[in-house]
Amino acid sequence: MQRRWRRAGRVSAARRSTMAQFLFEADLHGLLKLDAPIPNAPPARWQRKAKENGALGPNPAAVSPMKPANRSYSSKTPSQTPGKSGSKIQSTPTRAGGDRYIPNRSTMQMEVANFLLTKENDPAEESPTKKEQQKAWAVNLNGFDVEEAKILRLSGKPQNAPEGYQNNLKVLYSQKLTPGSSRKNGRYIPSMPDRILDAPEIRNDYYLNLIDWSSQNFLAVALDGSVYLWNHTSGEIIQLLQMEHPDDYVSSLSWIKEGNYLAVGTSNAEVQLWDIQQQKRLRNMTSHSSRVGSLSWNSYILSSGARTGHIHHHDVRVADHHVATLAGHTQEVCGLKWSLDGRYLASGGNDNLVNIWPCTQGDSGDFAPIHTFTQHQGAVKAVAWCPWQSNVLATGGGTSDRYIRIWNVCSGACLNAVDAHSQVCSILWSTNYKEFISGHGFAQNQLVIWKYPTMAKVTELRGHTARVLNLTMSPDGATVASAAADETLRLWRCFEMDPVKKKKERANSVKSSIMYQGIR
């Protein structure tokens, strides 16, 4: 009997073990199916939030997390990071429904979509009347035209962003111009001079021409009775000459094209020729009876303008240097410039006239101006030829005129005129840009850069405290030197060429030199 009880006990224990294993497998299978709630498990996050907001009611298990109905969220979701204060609140834009988009299929016109997808690709041709009739039926039955309907469309209108909200991606992907990209495509022009040099005892006389820059990079300056040379490359200063008589002074300067000879006009009616290599005077030419205020070279011909209104041509190669006299002004000639091609000579005088002279004599054997411009109402000292249009001349009038005028010397027409609002003392054309610069007197004493041919003002360069007397340009065309009555010379890097453009021009010059060598 005792052995039988033991056997029965072992069978009962085996049955209990088998039943426990079966129940474990059943529970595990139920957990994997997720059909029923997990007993004794903590509620889900969405259930806790709904319970806190009072939206679940007495039976929270009756609400499914996949159904958006009967759910509402607060516009502010508290977020707390361990170790940080819980007072920080993160704002979430308010919207109806859950955090997933569940389309409302009741407004998606599934029957119409099915019809549009399954209808024939090549419908039979129908008369306009029949098409209009079908359109009217569709509008009456569906409330819209089937042909214009979309197969799928979103239900409802998109929500508007809160007031003051700005999308951060707009900065990256916006098509609008940023302040950096909306700037004008203009070059940088320094507003301050690159260098300032002292010019003591420079004569404050509007009718004189006291500075000039050579092709060998020497800047010549006349300071009363002396002439100084400043080497722009090395910075060396050389005193070239000193007038013998203390009452005499230098009234004009002009370099020959090659840059090795300097012509000097004086107050005692002399025209001197100096060799800068030897630093000695080569010759002294006397033909005028009054001071020589303007000089200009055309190859070996040196033209000089005097206070008497006469212009003399000097052939510096021969002993009898005075070869021609031009009489077209009644007062002092203060502006004189040969064109780059050597065909015309422009002269401006204190009689408010601008004369255009030919390079050769007329049939009568005398020189006569081919054009005389009388539009200026003041003395004309500023005369300058356009470097890329040989027949275009710019002139500027004095205090009683203040106009800059552009002329076509072939037709004699005034192409343009602009009021500079101040005395025009000098004009220079840029060789690097389609622009020119003008120097002015009272009241701003400024330099102005103008765009050609629009005559639009590019910029103004200020710094002189007295009127600008003369302008001259460096051989590379990048720097302009201005001499003023404040006894200073200021160097402005206002026409510096763009490095890319400069590199291209240098490459082109190398190609042309190689071609020239090959032809020779």
For the chain, the first-to-last Cα distance in angstroms comes to: 139
- Calculate the CA 485 to chain-centre distance: 33
User: Which tokens go with 244?
Assistant: 């013998």
User: For position 35, what pLDDT does the model report?
Assistant: 53
> For 383-418, what is each residue's pLDDT tens digit?
999 999 999 999 999 999 999 999 999 999 999 999
User: For position 76, what pLDDT does the model report?
Assistant: 44
State the Cα angle at 498 between 497 and 504, rounded to 5°. Answer: 95
Sorted by sequence, the CB contacts under 8 Å of residue 88 that are 6+ apart come out as: 79, 80
Q: With a cut of 60, say whether residue 114 has pLDDT above it.
A: yes
Q: With a cut of 60, say whether residue 97 has pLDDT above it.
A: no
Task: List Cα–Cα distances, 127 to 134, 159, 463, in angstroms.
Answer: 11, 43, 83
| DSSP 8-class letter at 65 | T
- Calculate the CA 46 to chain-centre distance: 59
> For 448-501, what is each residue's pLDDT tens digit?
999 999 999 999 999 999 999 999 999 999 999 999 999 999 999 999 987 776
Q: What is the DSSP string of 466-502?
A: S-EEEEEE-TTSS-EEEEETTSEEEEE--SPPPHHHH
Q: What's the count of helices (H) and strands (E) in the chain, helices before strands?
A: 6, 30
Strand order in the sheet with 301-306: 292-298, 301-306, 310-315, 322-327
256 or 57: whose pLDDT is higher? 256
> For 501-517, what is each residue's pLDDT tens digit?
666 666 666 554 443 34
Q: What is the DSSP string of 235-298?
A: --EEEEEE-SSTT--EEEEEE-TTSSEEEEEETTSEEEEEETTTTEEEEEEE--SS-EEEEEEE
Average pLDDT over residues 75-95: 47
Spatial distance between the Cα atoms of 389 and 412, rounded to a whole number of angstroms? 15
303: pLDDT confidence band, cut at 50, 70 and 90? very high
User: For position 111, what pLDDT does the model report?
Assistant: 73
Contact between 112 and 119 under an 8 Å Cβ cutoff? The reply is: no
User: For position 500, what pLDDT does the model report?
Assistant: 72
Sorted by sequence, the CB contacts under 8 Å of residue 58 that are 6+ apart come out as: none
57 or 349: whose pLDDT is higher? 349
> For 431-448, what is each residue's pLDDT tens digit?
999 999 999 998 889 999
Quick count: other Cβ atoms within 10 Å of Cβ 284? Answer: 11
Least confident of 45-49, 60-64, 146-150, 210-214: 60-64
User: For position 179, what pLDDT does the model report?
Assistant: 47
> For 146-183, what is each residue's pLDDT tens digit?
666 655 555 556 667 676 666 666 555 554 444 444 44
Spatial distance between the Cα atoms of 419 and 438, rounded to a whole number of angstroms? 12
> For 209-265, what is each residue's pLDDT tens digit?
999 999 999 999 999 999 999 999 999 999 999 999 999 999 999 999 999 999 999
User: For position 247, what pLDDT does the model report?
Assistant: 94
Could you identify the residue written with the tokens 């039979």? Answer: 124
pLDDT mean across residues, the chain: 81
Of 320, 218, 324, 199, nearest to 262 by C-alpha is 218
136 or 354: whose pLDDT is higher? 354
User: For position 264, what pLDDT does the model report?
Assistant: 98
21: pLDDT confidence band, cut at 50, 70 and 90? confident
87: pLDDT confidence band, cut at 50, 70 and 90? very low
Of 299, 357, 350, nearest to 327 by C-alpha is 357
460 or 360: whose pLDDT is higher? 460
72: Cα within 13 Å, side-chain hemisphere:
6
Could you identify the residue written with the tokens 């101006």? Answer: 369
Of 41, 49, 50, 46, nearest to 66 by C-alpha is 46
Decide: residue 443, CB within 10 A, 0-12 exposed, 13-18 middle, 19+ buried: exposed
Sorted by sequence, the CB contacts under 8 Å of residue 287 that are 6+ apart come out as: 271, 312, 314, 321, 322
User: For position 293, what pLDDT does the model report?
Assistant: 97
User: For position 474, what pLDDT does the model report?
Assistant: 97
User: Which tokens go with 197?
Assistant: 């040099």
Q: How many percent of the chain have pLDDT more than 70?
A: 68
Could you identify the residue written with the tokens 């004794």? Answer: 40
User: For position 187, what pLDDT does the model report?
Assistant: 84
